[in-house]
Amino acid sequence: MDALKLISEASMKQDVPAVEIGDTVKVHVRIKEGDKSRIQVFEGTVIAKKHGGISETFTVRRVAHGCGIERVFPLHSPVVDKVELVRHGKVRRAKLYYLRDRVGKAAKVKEQL
């Protein structure tokens, strides 16, 4: 068990940003199309964080053309190129699943000053 823990700690990224619930982030994702690869930016609000250690994931939600889109990103994956913090959000919950039912300005998270 200790060997497994050492291997997982060795493969973890060292430059991971402190992503918290309610933050607005830009996730730069490496997408492979055929033999080429490109970077695609997915910007939205972090509504959940799950697990921990090497298997930690975070869920980002955005609304595009009136349709809600959620993507789950593994934090230590090589597919995630980098995560930029746009702004900190002021929330009092660990999971923001209630934002799925909100529309318009009600679906916004206040900024932490």
Per-residue pLDDT tens over the stretch 53-81: 888 999 999 999 999 999 999 999 999 99
In a domain, 43, yes or no: yes
Which whole number is the average pLDDT over 29-58? Answer: 95
Helix H or strand E segment including 58: strand 57-64
Q: With the C-alpha atoms ordered 86, 73, 79, 77, is the resulting torsion angle positive or negative?
A: positive
In a domain, 113, yes or no: no
Q: What is the pLDDT confidence band of residue 112, given thresholds at 50, 70 and 90?
A: confident
Q: Which domain holds residue 67?
A: 2-104
Q: What is the pTM of this model?
A: 0.89
With 90 as the cut, is the pLDDT of residue 100 above it? yes
Distance CA 61, CA 25 (A): 10
In a domain, 64, yes or no: yes
With 90 as the cut, is the pLDDT of residue 13 above it? no
In a domain, 112, yes or no: no
In a domain, 111, yes or no: no
How many other C-beta atoms can be found within 10 angstroms of the C-beta atom of residue 43?
A: 13
CB 60 within 8 A of CB 73: yes
Q: For residue 75, count CB atoms less than 10 angstroms from its CB and return exposed for 0-12, middle for 13-18, buried for 19 or more.
A: buried
Percentage of the chain exceeding pLDDT 90? 74
In a domain, 98, yes or no: yes
Tally of structural domains, the chain: 1
CATH code, 56: 2.30.30.790
pLDDT of the residue at 1:
66
